[in-house]
Structure 1
Amino acid sequence: MALSSDRFDSAETSDPTPDSATAVMRRAPSPTATASLPTRRSVRPATAAPRSRRQDTTRPPATPASRAARAKGVVNIVVMTFAMGLVATIAIPSYAFDPVSAQPAFAASEMQELKVDGAQTLEVSDDAGQAAVTRDNYTATSMDEILAARAAADAAKKAEEMRAQLAAQYNSYSGPSASDYVASTPPPSGALGDILSTARQYIGVPYVYGGATPAGFDCSGLVMFVFAQHGVSLPHSVTSQNAIGTTISAADAVPGDLVVWNDNSHDGIYAGNGIVLHAPYEGASVREQPIWDDNYHFVRIG
Structure 2
Amino acid sequence: MAIAVPAIFCTVALPAYAARPAPSTAGADATAELQHMKSTDAQAVAVASDVQVDVSTRDSFTATSVAELKRAQLRAALATYSGPSVRALLANPPYPNFSLDQVVAVAKQYVGVPYVYGGNTPAGFDCSGFTQYVYAQFGVSLPHSASHQGSGGTAIAPSAALPGDLVVMDGGGHVGIYLGGNMMIDAPYPGLNVEIRAIYTPSHWFVRYGI
Q: So what's the TM-score if we normalise by structure 2?
A: 0.59
Q: Is the 8 A contact 2:95 2:137 kept in 1?
A: no
Q: Is the 8 A contact 1:219 1:268 kept in 2?
A: yes
Q: Is the 8 A contact 2:97 2:138 kept in 1?
A: no
Letter in 1 for 2:200: W
Which of residues 259, 273, 279 is equivalent to 2:187? 279
- State the structure with bigger RCO (CA 8 A, min sep 6), 1 or 2: 2
Q: Does 1:298 align with 2:211?
A: no
Q: CA 1:174–1:291 in structure 2 vs 1: closer, same or farther (change >3 Å)? A: same
Number of positions where the alignment pairs a residue of Structure 1 with one of Structure 2 = 135
Q: Distance in 2 between matches of 1:231 and 1:195?
A: 11
Over the matched positions of the two proteins, sequence identity in percent amounts to 49
Q: Distance in 2 between matches of 1:220 and 1:190?
A: 19
Q: Distance in 1 between matches of 2:77 and 2:185?
A: 21
How much does 1:173 deviate? 2.0
| SS of aligned partner of 1:194 | helix
Question: Matches of residues 1-302 of structure 1 in structure 2 within 5 Å?
Answer: 172-185=80-93, 191-192=99-100, 194-261=102-169, 263-302=171-210
How much does 1:243 deviate? 2.3
Q: Is the 8 A contact 1:173 1:214 kept in 2?
A: yes
Q: Distance in 1 between matches of 2:100 and 2:116?
A: 27
Whichever of the two has the greater Rg, that structure is: 1
How much does 1:191 deviate? 4.6
Q: Distance in 2 between matches of 1:269 and 1:244?
A: 15
How much does 1:185 deviate? 2.3
Q: So what's the TM-score if we normalise by structure 1?
A: 0.42
Letter in 1 for 2:138: H
Q: CA 1:209–1:186 in structure 2 vs 1: closer, same or farther (change >3 Å)? A: closer
Q: CA 1:172–1:190 in structure 2 vs 1: closer, same or farther (change >3 Å)? A: closer
How much does 1:169 deviate? 10
Q: Distance in 2 between matches of 1:213 and 1:190?
A: 20
Q: CA 1:174–1:239 in structure 2 vs 1: closer, same or farther (change >3 Å)? A: same
Higher strand fraction (1 or 2): 2
How much does 1:241 deviate? 1.0
What RMSD in Å do the two structures reach over aligned CA positions? Answer: 2.3
Q: Distance in 1 between matches of 2:188 and 2:94?
A: 30
| SS of aligned partner of 2:159 | coil
Q: Distance in 1 between matches of 2:177 and 2:187?
A: 10
Q: CA 1:240–1:188 in structure 2 vs 1: closer, same or farther (change >3 Å)? A: farther
How much does 1:291 deviate? 1.0
How much does 1:283 deviate? 0.4
Q: Distance in 2 between matches of 1:243 and 1:188?
A: 24
| SS of aligned partner of 2:207 | strand
Q: CA 1:189–1:199 in structure 2 vs 1: closer, same or farther (change >3 Å)? A: closer
How much does 1:205 deviate? 0.4
Q: Is the 8 A contact 2:101 2:163 kept in 1?
A: no
Q: CA 1:185–1:218 in structure 2 vs 1: closer, same or farther (change >3 Å)? A: same
Letter in 2 for 1:287: E
Q: Is the 8 A contact 1:187 1:232 kept in 2?
A: no
